[in-house]
Structure 1
Amino acid sequence: MAHLIEITDPADPRLADYRDLRDTQLRKALETEHGLFLAEGEKVVRRSVQAGFSPRSFLMAPRWLDGLADVLDGSDAPCYVLSEKLAEEVTGFHVHRGALASLERRPLPSVESVLEGARSVLVLEDVVDHTNVGAVFRSGAALGFDAVLLAPRCADPLYRRSIKVAMGAVFQMPWTRLPDWYDALPALSRAGFTTVALTLADDATPIEDAVAGLDKVALVLGSEGHGISPRWQEAADRRAIIPMAAGIDSLNVAAASAVACYVTSHRRTGG
């Protein structure tokens, strides 16, 4: 069972994992150096532990101890108990969900193992906003996608905000980073996937037509600013667009992913 430790000093050095969460650059450096990530909220904390990640520690307001008693009973990590006011001093924001956990990262799996048995995968190129990455994971999980592949410069799915927006979907969907950006799409084609890039290119066809009849689909989404790079647009097997009403040319990547995932998950397959 987790060892409950009452904390009265917000400067307590044992709370280092949770300090100054508003400072994104500081958090990235700390999490990279120590190989950790944070989960926030009862559901997300529970899902992260159920997914097999090892807790380093927990930080909780007293009112969450009963609700997460089963999670705490199954761990020997320390649980720091402090008031919500003190938690806010430590983290730098109002911890309205009242529960945090610091967990050990695991080595990323190979692309081959993530793709094993998959028929519908999402491929993200340079999606740099943590909220958008979390939203894409949530859409993919909700609409039956099997895995997510991320180009090297994509935001971290295990950053606290990504996890929170994804509602823990980052723990249930297999994912990894692509080691080779330049030839990533041709490699997926060789693995039997038809790569379908969501783009405003002149030769893009409606998403319903682009995915119709396909067995294995890799749906490719680009960055928040310029979209998919010229290299990936050229390398994709097909280019697709979500038809828009007059005056609007596109959706943001989070909304576009939800629409495209829905259409792709309902495609007619070729058998």
Structure 2
Amino acid sequence: MVQVQYIADLGDSRLDAYARLTERQLRSVLEPEKGIFIAESAKVIERALAAGLEPVSFLMGERWLEQFTPVFHDLEVECPGLDVPAFIAPMELMEELTGFNVTRGALAAFRRPAMPDARAFLDGLVARADGRPVRVCVLEGIVDHTNVGAIFRSAAALNVDGILVSPTCCDPLYRRAVRVSMGTVFQVPWTRLGTTARAWPADGLSVLHEAGFSCAAMALADDSRSLDDPSLVEIDRLALFMGTEGDGLSARTIEGCDLTIRIPMARGVDSLNVAAASAVAFWQLCPHATNSYHYQHGRYA
């Protein structure tokens, strides 16, 4: 059941996950085998619950308790053995904790889901596609959590089948990435690709090629194809590589990919922000239809 507990002091040790632990500590200290992440706002929390993620605790200002009461009731019905606290604090205390007026709602700590093996992940995407083209995005070394969150939101809206994250890419479950994604990080299937920064990109490219994917680098190159090249949409299994802010994809990654793609530009502009570029590429290369085939009834199908 969800146990409502009132909080009057930010020094309360039960609030460590929200007030004192770093993102790195959340990943390894509280739950060494899985880790914990923080979700912010009612919509994000509800999407995490709908995706079947397990809550550890909730924290919200007292004005939000009424809105969450039916959410807690549904959670108790679906998970009768679950026992989690819901910490309720005065709004003034919440504003002191977060540093701003808590208009977005509430916070919740969730257990991190286990990441599937990349090979099994890709096999599952292909099986669910049932013969239609499959599109995945590979994020190489992207360090801005806002960009990662924005890419996930575009991927959810524009029908990307899955996202793979390189060893040097920032964490999609970092608090800001989750918030910017509006919880779509729980809707778009994703996993890690590659073992170490030293072995990248050879190990990641090998996994994709073995799964039958053509690897396309989004980069400026003399031999690149325009994004509107009609042959691109005919590729059955396509992995689209997006590179880090500023430098873009590494030379080794571009060399290892099967083709290079560029977005045609006007007025002397040579490139777009990686999040904006991803949205343009997804719109052009992914089928324009609902992506409910891989996310149904609050669970991955």
Do the structures match in fold with TM over 0.5?
Answer: yes
Asked whether 1:227 is paired with 2:251, we answer: no
Residue matched to 1:211: 232
Quick one: which of 164, 169, 176 aligns to 1:149? 164
Deviation at 1:213, TM superposition (A): 1.4
Task: Provide the rounded CA distance (Å) in 2 between the counterparts of 1:171 and 1:262.
Answer: 21
**1:211-248 deviations in whole A, cap 9, x for unaligned?**
23111111110000210001110011110000000321
Residue matched to 2:276: 255
Matched-pair identity in %:
47
Residue matched to 1:79: 86
Quick one: which of 94, 102, 105 aligns to 1:98? 105
Residue matched to 2:130: none
Deviation at 1:199, TM superposition (A): 0.1
Deviation at 1:262, TM superposition (A): 0.4
TM-score between both structures, scaled by the size of structure 2: 0.83
The 3-state SS of whatever aligns with 1:101 is strand
Asked whether 1:31 is paired with 2:27, we answer: yes
Quick one: which of 179, 187, 191 aligns to 1:164? 179
Trace 1:185-200 onto structure 2 (pairs within 5 A): 185-200=205-220
- Structure 2 residues not aligned, in runs of 5+: 77-82, 127-133, 289-301
Residue matched to 2:114: 107
Q: Is the 8 A contact 2:194 2:201 kept in 1?
A: no
Task: Provide the rounded CA distance (Å) in 2 between the counterparts of 1:141 and 1:128.
Answer: 20
Residue matched to 2:260: 239
Task: Provide the rounded CA distance (Å) in 2 between the counterparts of 1:80 and 1:53.
Answer: 19
Shifted more, 112-121 versus 217-226: the winner is 112-121
Task: Provide the rounded CA distance (Å) in 2 between the counterparts of 1:171 and 1:239.
Answer: 30
Aligned-residue CA RMSD (Å): 1.7
**1:10-44 deviations in whole A, cap 9, x for unaligned?**
211111111058xxxx3323333221000100111
Residue matched to 1:176: 191
Task: Provide the rounded CA distance (Å) in 2 between the counterparts of 1:190 and 1:207.
Answer: 25
Deviation at 1:190, TM superposition (A): 2.4
The 3-state SS of whatever aligns with 2:212 is coil
Deviation at 1:204, TM superposition (A): 1.0
Letter in 1 for 2:191: T
Letter in 1 for 2:147: N
- Structure 1 residues not aligned, in runs of 5+: none
User: After TM superposition, what 4+ stretches of structure 1 lie above 4 angstroms from structure 2?
Assistant: none
Task: Provide the rounded CA distance (Å) in 2 between the counterparts of 1:135 and 1:117.
Answer: 22
Tell me the number of residue pairs that the alignment of Structure 1 and Structure 2 aligns. 263
The 3-state SS of whatever aligns with 1:244 is coil
Residue matched to 2:299: none
Deviation at 1:64, TM superposition (A): 1.6
Deviation at 1:197, TM superposition (A): 0.8
Shifted more, 234-243 versus 96-105: the winner is 96-105
Shifted more, 113-122 versus 8-17: the winner is 113-122
**1:37-69 deviations in whole A, cap 9, x for unaligned?**
001001111111121111111001122222222
Q: Is the 8 A contact 1:128 1:224 kept in 2?
A: yes
Shifted more, 87-96 versus 153-162: the winner is 87-96
TM-score between both structures, scaled by the size of structure 1: 0.92
